[in-house]
Amino acid sequence: MPTTPWRNGAVHYELDRTEGNGSGQQTPLVLVHGTGGDAEAVFGHVVGPLVEHRDVIRPNLSGSGRTGDTGGELTVDTFAEQVAAATRAASPNQPADLLGFSLGAVAAAATAATNPELVRRLILVAGWAHTTDPRDRLYFETWERLFETDRDLFKRFTALTGYSAAAVDGFGHDGISQYLGNEWPPPSMGRQITAGLRVDIRALLPQIQAPTLVIGLGADAMVPVEGSRQLHAGIPDSRLVEINGEGHMDWFIQPDRLLTQVQAFLDT
Residues of the chain whose pLDDT is less than 70? Answer: 20-25
In this prediction the pTM is 0.96
Residues sharing a CB contact under 8 Å with residue 138, sequence separation 6 or more, in sequence order: none
Q: What is the pLDDT of residue 25?
A: 63
Taking a C-beta distance cutoff of 8 angstroms, is the pair 151, 145 a contact? Answer: no
The per-residue pLDDT of the chain, averaged, comes to 95
Q: What is the pLDDT of residue 250?
A: 98
Residues sharing a CB contact under 8 Å with residue 179, sequence separation 6 or more, in sequence order: 155, 159, 171
Say how far apart CA 24 and CA 123 lie, in whole Å: 21
pLDDT 10s digits, 66-106? 998 888 899 999 999 999 999 999 999 999 999 999 999 99
List active site positions. 102, 220, 248
- Work out the number of other CB atoms within 10 angstroms of the CB of residue 187: 9
Please state the three-class secondary structure of the chain as a single string: CCEEEECCEEEEEEEECCCCCCCCCCCCEEEECCCCCCHHHHHCCCHHHHHCCCCEEEECCCCCCCCECCCCCCCHHHHHHHHHHHHHHHCCCCCEEEEEECHHHHHHHHHHHHCHHHEEEEEEECCCCECCCHHHHHHHHHHHHHHHHCHHHHHHHHHHHHCCHHHHHHHHHHHHHHHHHCCCCCCCHHHHHHHHHCCECCCCHHHCCCCEEEEEECCCCCCCCHHHHHHHHHCCCCEEEEECCCCCCHHHCCCHHHHHHHHHHHHC
Say how far apart CA 200 and CA 131 lie, in whole Å: 6
Backbone angles phi, psi at 100, to 5 degrees: -125, 140
Q: What is the pLDDT of residue 20?
A: 59
Say how far apart CA 6 and CA 202 lie, in whole Å: 25
Amino acid at 220: D
Return the axis-axis angle of helices 103-114 and 76-90, rounded to nearest 10°. Answer: 70
Domain edges within the chain: 3-130+201-267
Whether residue 236 is preceded by a cis peptide bond, meaning omega within 30 degrees of 0, is no
Which one is the CATH code of 3-130+201-267: 3.40.640.10, 3.40.50.2000, 3.40.50.300, 3.40.50.1820?
A: 3.40.50.1820
Q: What is the pLDDT of residue 7?
A: 86
Q: What is the pLDDT of residue 23?
A: 46
Beta bridge partners of 130: 200
